[in-house]
Amino acid sequence: MASVVPVNVQVPADATAPMIADFVEHALRVAYVHRRDVHNLRDTDWAAPGVYVLLTDDGSGSVYVGKAVWLRARLLQHRAKPKLPWRRAVILKRDTSHGFNSAEIGYLEGRLSAELEATQDLTVIKGKADQDLTLPPHMLLSLDAILPSMLAAVRLAGLDVRRASDADDGHPATTSTSVRTNTFIPGTVADLLASGLLQAGAELHLNQGGKVGTGKVTTSGEIIVNGVAYSSPSKASAVALGLRASNGWETWHVGSLSGPKLATLRSQLPPPVEEA
């Protein structure tokens, strides 16, 4: 069963007022507003730091991802001097007493840009090309956990955020004669986290055919490569190596290139309990 992101949506009777969505799990507040109605964003609510996505309706699939310490003022600037012919905006902030700080929105802008750029039919125009990595690792982990809600918020605006499948089917076992089979090996990265064999935030490294790559494990068991989270270690390693396919369970090493393989850790998982 697919995971569900809980959200409360407020649709005002006034057609010029922004729609508001509250993603309760991460205290994320989102406004959906037409370009002509940006001035209707209340300063008391939207003079705040956050991230935004500008959407076009011309069929080009172009979007602009940016950040601002004062969202309403930045959107008014975009209305006066547009970076692209946008029609609607998705504006995201933290609905807490302190909200996001500038370093946090810098990181989230980079992550959201990378995630949208990895989708099938979008062209992303970036307000900033790199992610702000000045925050401590435990803060980055908490921000990474917000990305599913941010992507759900963009999807709620009608944007297609599909990308190539990264479903993990274990990995194809290889016999001594290198003949591949469809043997299924149980266990996921999330299982490794739950068992204590792997820690969230762990760095992963690989080196294959002279190509090196790095990744980071999220709290949900995904692997972030180049700002994009993948649920499949094999998909993540293929992206890191620039290959069509790669056995991530065998290529990813934990901590360093001399660290244990993910496959070695998975072999230490207790056997699954058979149903009576």
Q: Calculate what percentage of the chain has a pLDDT beyond 70.
A: 88
Provide the whole-model pTM: 0.88
- Determine the Cα–Cα distance for residues 90 and 30; give it in Å rounded to an integer: 7
Residue type, 9: V
- Determine the Cα–Cα distance for residues 110 and 191; give it in Å rounded to an integer: 28
How many C-beta atoms lie closer than 10 Å to residue 192's C-beta? 21
**Per-residue pLDDT tens digits for 222-260:** 999 999 999 999 999 999 999 989 999 999 999 999 999
Note the pLDDT of residue 134.
76
- Determine the Cα–Cα distance for residues 83 and 197; give it in Å rounded to an integer: 47
Measure the CA angle with vertex 240, ends 235 and 242; round to 5°: 90
Read off the tokens for 143.
């921000």
- Determine the Cα–Cα distance for residues 255 and 204; give it in Å rounded to an integer: 6
- Residue 65: which pLDDT band, with cuts at 50, 70 and 90? very high
At residue 132, does pLDDT exceed 90? no
> What is the average pLDDT value for the chain, to the nearest integer?
88
Average pLDDT over residues 135-149: 93
Residue type, 214: T
- Determine the Cα–Cα distance for residues 100 and 98; give it in Å rounded to an integer: 7
- Least Cα distance to 67 among 112, 20, 19, 109 occurs for 109
**Per-residue pLDDT tens digits for 99-113:** 999 999 999 999 999
